[in-house]
């Protein structure tokens, strides 16, 4: 058995070989701490499942929703009505696929991309990126790849590049650089060339089956759904998901702690059979853990000039479960830093929350424009972490827009609710009609100064 199969087998054993440790020596404080940490650990798995439920509740691909193992493509940028994923982008046209490789591998054909930047980020059900074929990693030539589940063994066709998914379930979020609405047809052509089908259909005529539609399903934003879930339902869902998706091989310390309060991978979760102390702790866990999860995204990363930039613990997380949960809450589908970084701003240069009734400017000196090999943008989000309606339907602004530089080559971006003077409107990013807001920069294929922290975005200054 090769090393890769050995590691996968080890992870699978976690779901069946965990012994039960005694609870008698635990204090109420320790029980509460374990319950809180278990909620944080479980959060990505639960929100991934709700995201899948929403995204696959269609008979055929429609927008970014599609049945399991079928690509769905955004044919236009999302707008203020889009709620499936928080903090969406308006730089690329998305292609999404939720996969299930529990029975057999999924084959994917990628067309030749010419000089167009793209990536197909692949996440396991814990939200860790395990592969990212695309311009930076595999180049733009035509490719055929296979996603193989942890339990499968067999032979793949020759010439197929193999990716072993750590979990049976997973998510692909593809991003294809799109230079405004005029570029849609060319991007659509690339998207149409993406094909997914099971190994058993290789070399055969294949028609993807229709999906099943549940008209009663809650289709609201997944973070909102998780926040409303009672603890009993949250942990029951977590226990069921563990049966299909094994923990990572580095998770033993967390698993050992969880089992002390009755959360054991591979075994049923029976809330009513737990002790009163454990029931109380589990019920209290969401109220304690959710503020920590929300703050983890907002407060993490390197802080400079009022911006926070995650240069570690994003895309792949190891045992940093709080950071992983924070990204799942606020940026599900995030890439590894080598593909993209996302400086976030919630406050101005004086540390005050960004407010829609104020006016702001970001000034980039001529030699301090965002350093990228791909492209960059600045995106606006309201208090829901979503796009908000504005009179010019502009949700992001960046280097592919017709920005007006100052005579010295510097750049000013204007962030405000009402339109600025006419000569500044090309550089205007509209703020929401009310409430606080936040912003993300996106640097695709960032250069070394951005990855090492030598470059950071300028301050957001109130006017």
Name the nearest CA neighbour of 69 among 197, 157, 168, 175.
197
Q: Is residue 67 helix, strand or coil? A: coil
Element (H, E) at 170: strand 169-177
Entry pTM: 0.84
Given a cut of 50, the residues of the chain with pLDDT beneath it are 1-19
Give start and end residues of each alpha helix (H) in 354-454. Answer: 448-452
C-alpha to C-alpha distance for 137 and 133, rounded to whole angstroms: 6
What are the Cα distances from residue 151, in Å, to 130, 136, 166, 217, 333? 17, 30, 10, 31, 24
Res 8: pLDDT: 43
Question: Cβ distance 203 to 107 under 8 Å?
Answer: no
Residue whose token pair is 């997973």: 170
What are the Cα distances from residue 101, in Å, to 171, 239, 245? 11, 20, 11
Question: Cβ distance 282 to 231 under 8 Å?
Answer: yes
Residue 226 CB partners (closer than 8 Å, separation 6+)? 43, 46, 47, 50, 234
Question: Cβ distance 134 to 157 under 8 Å?
Answer: no
Res 116: pLDDT: 95
Helix 321-331 and helix 276-299: axis angle, to 10°? 70
Res 21: pLDDT: 57
Element (H, E) at 218: none
Name the nearest CA neighbour of 37 among 238, 311, 197, 249.
238
């Amino acid at each position: 058995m090769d090393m890769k199969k050995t590691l996968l087998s080890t992870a699978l054993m976690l779901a069946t070989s965990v012994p039960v440790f005694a609870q008698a020596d635990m204090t109420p404080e320790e029980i509460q701490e374990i319950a809180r940490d278990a909620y944080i650990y479980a959060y990505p798995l639960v929100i991934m499942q709700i995201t899948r439920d929403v995204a696959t509740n269609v008979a055929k691909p429609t927008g970014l929703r599609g049945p399991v193992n079928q690509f769905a493509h955004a044919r236009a940028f999302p707008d203020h009505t889009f709620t499936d994923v928080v903090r969406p982008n308006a730089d690329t046209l998305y292609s999404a696929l939720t996969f299930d490789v529990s029975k057999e591998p999924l084959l994917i054909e990628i067309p030749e991309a010419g000089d167009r930047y793209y990536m197909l980020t692949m996440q396991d059900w814990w939200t860790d990126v395990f592969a990212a074929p695309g311009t930076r990693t595999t180049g733009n030539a035509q490719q055929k790849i296979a996603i193989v589940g942890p339990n499968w063994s067999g032979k793949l066709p020759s010439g197929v590049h193999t990716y072993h998914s750590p979990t049976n379930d997973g998510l692909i979020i593809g991003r294809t650089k799109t230079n405004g609405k005029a570029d849609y047809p060319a991007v659509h052509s690339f998207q149409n060339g993406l094909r997914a089908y099971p190994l058993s259909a290789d070399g055969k005529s294949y028609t993807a089956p229709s999906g099943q539609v549940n008209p009663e399903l809650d289709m609201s934003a997944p973070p909102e759904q998780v926040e409303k879930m009672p603890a009993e339902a949250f942990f029951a869902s977590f226990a069921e998901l563990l049966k299909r998706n094994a923990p990572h091989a580095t998770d033993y310390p967390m698993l050992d702690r969880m089992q002390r309060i009755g959360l054991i991978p591979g075994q049923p979760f029976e809330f009513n059979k737990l002790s009163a102390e454990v029931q109380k702790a589990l019920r209290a866990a969401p109220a304690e853990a959710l503020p920590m999860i929300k703050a983890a995204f907002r407060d993490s990363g390197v802080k400079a000039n009022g911006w926070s930039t995650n240069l570690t613990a994003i895309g792949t997380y190891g045992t940093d479960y709080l950071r992983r949960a924070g990204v799942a809450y606020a940026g599900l589908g995030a890439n590894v830093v080598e593909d993209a970084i996302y400086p976030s701003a919630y406050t101005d240069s004086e540390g005050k929350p960004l407010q829609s009734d104020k006016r702001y400017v970001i000034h980039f000196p001529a030699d301090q424009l965002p350093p990228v090999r791909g492209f960059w943008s600045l995106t606006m989000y309201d208090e829901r972490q979503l796009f908000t309606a504005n009179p010019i339907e502009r949700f992001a602004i960046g280097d592919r827009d017709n920005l007006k530089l100052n005579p010295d080559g510097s750049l000013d971006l204007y962030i405000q609710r009402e339109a600025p003077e006419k000569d500044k409107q090309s550089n205007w990013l509209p703020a929401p009609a009310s409430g606080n807001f936040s912003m993300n920069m996106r640097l695709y294929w960032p250069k070394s100064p951005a990855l090492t922290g030598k470059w950071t975005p300028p301050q957001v200054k109130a006017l």
